[in-house]
Amino acid sequence: MSIPFAQRLNQVETSAIRELFKLLGKPGIISFAGGLPDSAMFDVEGIRAASEQVLQNDSAAALQYGATEGYQPLREQLASFMHSKGVQGLQPEQLIVTTGSQQALDLLGKTLIDPGDKVIVEGPTFLATIQCFRLYGAELISAPIDGDGVQTDRLEQLMAEHRPKLVYLIPTFGNPSGALLSLERRRKVLELAVRYNTVVVEDDPYGDLYFNAPPPPSLLALSHEVPGSRDWLAHCGSLSKVLSPGLRVGWLVAPPELLAKATMCKQFSDAHTSTFAQATAAQYFRAGRMPATLAQVRAVYAERAQAMGDALRQELGDAIEFVQPQGGLFVWARLTGAHGRLADGNELASRAIDQGVAFVPGAPFFCANPDVATLRLSFATADVAKIREGVGRLAQALRG
Amino acid sequence: MSIPFAQRLNQVETSAIRELFKLLGKPGIISFAGGLPDSAMFDVEGIRAASEQVLQNDSAAALQYGATEGYQPLREQLASFMHSKGVQGLQPEQLIVTTGSQQALDLLGKTLIDPGDKVIVEGPTFLATIQCFRLYGAELISAPIDGDGVQTDRLEQLMAEHRPKLVYLIPTFGNPSGALLSLERRRKVLELAVRYNTVVVEDDPYGDLYFNAPPPPSLLALSHEVPGSRDWLAHCGSLSKVLSPGLRVGWLVAPPELLAKATMCKQFSDAHTSTFAQATAAQYFRAGRMPATLAQVRAVYAERAQAMGDALRQELGDAIEFVQPQGGLFVWARLTGAHGRLADGNELASRAIDQGVAFVPGAPFFCANPDVATLRLSFATADVAKIREGVGRLAQALRG
């Protein structure tokens, strides 16, 4: 006899990427595979000062159980942070703090998805979203993207055809695509949400990581221009990419009824997010350190993105094509097969490991019709010299 | 048009207790209503020293993404902590860290429960477990308890009749019952798990809070005496009641396949528990502060439990009956109706608020056949003088 597991587990499999990550321990590997920020850029002193301040002035609250909705001073800081990014009239009560934005996705799945419900995602999209929604029984449908993000005409056709329960997008420097949804398409997405009475989830962990110019306003910031759209819009934010993933502080903005249901589900998921981490994050904002931190990570990632783009063009030439990213952590590239070169990302990934460089092949990021010629390369954690060396090794691997 | 929520939400309602808690802000109220430890007893200096140490020596790991299974040094400390409590041969790899033990319950629900599955719980039991499992579609069945915990003969009948997916117990100083499952019954529970090939979940957040003598070994500690029982046993632990709820550090021990599935579900629930909180907890253990902290909270709660028991006997006499708790946070009492006094916990709760004292009526803790004469009184957060005064007010409320 063995334990009879729930049937929902049959919807998901262990990710192919996890297997790849096991190989990353090999000595000397230069990794473009991660999806994480560079720990060398954490503002350790700022976080130390914030946590010490919290334990000195507010330990009883910071170490005690807290409201499921979140630690009120952090909700206030986050509302004000969102305001500084163009979101109008957001009250602290219109967001809840989540245990990373991953939990916001989980709560949306739990709150909204019945087995068999259709969910439209970008092709490609964030793997953990695909799996998270599948665990609730969602049937995923892939909307194609290009350099301007999701193709809204195709998105509309898919919405009309499938009447999905929700549409999930990463409009700004998406993972893995790095794509930036154009302003015009953003307006269109909001109009579609209203026209089809369909919840649109905007996952926005990367929007703060822009390089030369700020991206167009988030769907949330833009929603006041499209009457009724706020009633169908959920927005997930995160401190993981800009401050520290280890705090596990994310947030969810949603219409009141959806937020109330998500809060109820959170009550039974983890009661609340660490008050110690929340209070530390709140104090970090209050101390005014966030703007300088953002400026620094933007500058460092911009330099690395440039270095990676330059090296790829120089070393791989027309064997690869990609849009130079304007923010985020990733170059999303496609092997062209020019000059008879390899055009299979999985095969290249395994050859690359032998050459001492790692990246993630793009195919697993598609919930349907994978493009096997694609690759995701993170420029976040290697410095410029390592980036050049790693791309050199990649070129070597491609030559075979 | 409004958002079409998932059908699973129809399984749960907002708890009656939440409504009560809104009244607790009334000035001057003495509260026996909470389920939380006393924040005055948090070892703030120990936690401050631990978090500072972590940020000084290990900030890159403590602020970065971490393994879904948990921060390895904490897994090692927890395995060793469990060993000190009589659990033999537990390897760090046999447990995962969860975001409070509430998340362990959620992961068990996600991993095991299909809609319509039967789950046996104690009557009464922890409210958030009932709601958590119902969200996964469980049909809950109530097994009666007495002063020695769940009645194992009734439990066996219910298991034979309903073939449940799992049995959920809080064997040691249960919430709300405060009951202590006898050693003999503990053995019986493990035998039943094997005989009926049924997962038994031991939720154990209170086992460290014993007063005069340690309780019998946990089901987990006892499992090596009952061949095969470890294959059917899941154990949830927590630092919330002994160190700090705000860290949100719990853990789950389970058979390998179940642990692997729970880890996969956790990956899509919140990726991992705050590494900052985990590293702080690990350092707290490493610094050797836990034994003194445990000794202190035991002594304080023992004194308060005694004061509450004495005051109840003195002030309410035979209008109330209860077993003097040997640990935990709660007195579970029953109104006898003697001398024509009130025997309805809900009515008494509302009268008590008028008199300036709060407690939680017992009925909502039953998933079926509520005993409306019951009350849950926490002695954890009021000092001895306040406990006496609060019980005096309760007697006043009962006199009407």
pLDDT, tens only, A98-128: 999 999 999 999 999 999 999 999 999 999 9
Shortest distance, CA A248 to any CA of chain B (angstroms): 5
Rounded to the nearest 5°, which phi and psi values hold at A154? Answer: -65, -40
What's CA B113's distance to the chain center, in Å? 20
Within 121-180 of A, beta carbons closer than 8 Å to B belong to 128, 131-132, 135-136, 165
Check: complex ipTM more than 0.85: yes
B357-358 vs B30-31, strand pairing mode: parallel
Of A9, A111, A279, which has the smallest distance from its Cβ to B6's Cβ? Answer: A111
- The verdict on a CB contact (< 8 Å) between B9 and A111 is yes
Within 318-347 of B, beta carbons closer than 8 Å to A belong to none
Report the pLDDT value the prediction gives residue B400, as an integer from 0 to 100.
Answer: 76
> Is residue B19 scored above 80 in pLDDT?
no
- The verdict on a CB contact (< 8 Å) between A63 and B47 is yes
Paired strand residues for A141:
A120
Sign of the CA dihedral running B123, B127, B129, B132 = positive
Report the pLDDT value the prediction gives residue A13, as an integer from 0 to 100.
Answer: 75
The predicted model gives B156-162 an average pLDDT of: 98
Nearest to A186 by CA among A226, A147, A158: A226
**Mean pLDDT, chain B, integer:** 95
Set of chain B residues whose Cβ sits within 8 Å of the Cβ of A48: 52, 55-56
Set of chain A residues whose Cβ sits within 8 Å of the Cβ of B65: 36, 240, 245-246
Structure tokens at A361: 């092949």
pLDDT level of residue B7 (50, 70, 90 thresholds)? very high
Distance, in Å, from the CA atom of A392 to the CA atom of B131, rounded to the nearest integer, reads 55
Residue with tokens 């997405």: A189
Q: Does A2 touch chain B (CB under 8 A)?
A: yes
Set of chain B residues whose Cβ sits within 8 Å of the Cβ of A7: 114
Report the pLDDT value the prediction gives residue A27, as an integer from 0 to 100.
Answer: 80
Distance, in Å, from the CA atom of A111 to the CA atom of A105, rounded to the nearest integer, reads 10
The answer to whether B233 and B220 are in contact (CB under 8 A) is yes
Chain B residue closest to A275 (CA)?
A: B246
Nearest to A353 by CA among A396, A315, A385: A396
Report the pLDDT value the prediction gives residue A182, as an integer from 0 to 100.
Answer: 98
Distance, in Å, from the CA atom of B126 to the CA atom of A271, rounded to the nearest integer, reads 13
Cα–Cα distances in Å, from B270 out to A33, A111, A115, A269, B248? 21, 16, 21, 10, 13
- The SS3 of residue A269 is helix
pLDDT tens digit sequence for A216-266:
999 999 999 999 999 999 999 999 999 999 999 999 999 999 999 999 999
> Is residue B168 scored above 90 in pLDDT?
yes
pLDDT tens digit sequence for A261-295:
999 999 999 999 999 999 999 999 999 999 999 99
Report the pLDDT value the prediction gives residue A25, as an integer from 0 to 100.
Answer: 67
The predicted model gives B207-224 an average pLDDT of: 97
The answer to whether A352 and A394 are in contact (CB under 8 A) is yes
- The verdict on a CB contact (< 8 Å) between B39 and A63 is yes
Report the pLDDT value the prediction gives residue A235, as an integer from 0 to 100.
Answer: 98
Nearest to A362 by CA among A383, A347, A382: A347
pLDDT tens digit sequence for B61-76:
999 999 999 999 999 9
Distance, in Å, from the CA atom of B90 to the CA atom of B71, rounded to the nearest integer, reads 17
Shortest distance, CA A109 to any CA of chain B (angstroms): 9
> Is residue B24 scored above 90 in pLDDT?
no
pLDDT tens digit sequence for B86-123:
999 999 999 999 999 999 999 999 999 999 999 999 99
Set of chain B residues whose Cβ sits within 8 Å of the Cβ of A272: 248
> Is residue B23 scored above 80 in pLDDT?
no
Report the pLDDT value the prediction gives residue A232, as an integer from 0 to 100.
Answer: 98
The predicted model gives B14-29 an average pLDDT of: 70
pLDDT tens digit sequence for B239-283:
999 999 999 999 999 999 999 999 999 999 999 999 999 999 999
Chain B residue closest to A102 (CA)?
A: B270
Distance, in Å, from the CA atom of B165 to the CA atom of A275, rounded to the nearest integer, reads 34
Paired strand residues for A202:
A169, A235
Which parts of chain A sit beneath pLDDT 50? Answer: none
| pTM for this predicted structure | 0.97
Chain B residue closest to A196 (CA)?
A: B1
Q: Does B71 touch chain A (CB under 8 A)?
A: no
- The verdict on a CB contact (< 8 Å) between B232 and A199 is no
Shortest distance, CA A229 to any CA of chain B (angstroms): 12
Of B136, B248, B268, which has the smallest distance from its Cβ to A131's Cβ? Answer: B268
B301 by Cβ neighbours in 10 Å (0-12 / 13-18 / 19+) ranks as buried
A166-169: strand order across its sheet: A95-99, A249-253, A233-238, A199-203, A166-169, A118-123, A139-146, A149-150
Shortest distance, CA B391 to any CA of chain A (angstroms): 25
Chain A residue closest to B59 (CA)?
A: A44
- The region of weakest confidence among A58-62, B24-28, B200-204, B205-209 is B24-28
How many other C-beta atoms can be found within 10 angstroms of the C-beta atom of residue A57?
12
Of A48, A66, A128, which has the smallest distance from its Cβ to B55's Cβ? Answer: A48
Report the pLDDT value the prediction gives residue A14, as an integer from 0 to 100.
Answer: 65
- The verdict on a CB contact (< 8 Å) between A100 and B271 is yes
Set of chain A residues whose Cβ sits within 8 Å of the Cβ of B62: 246
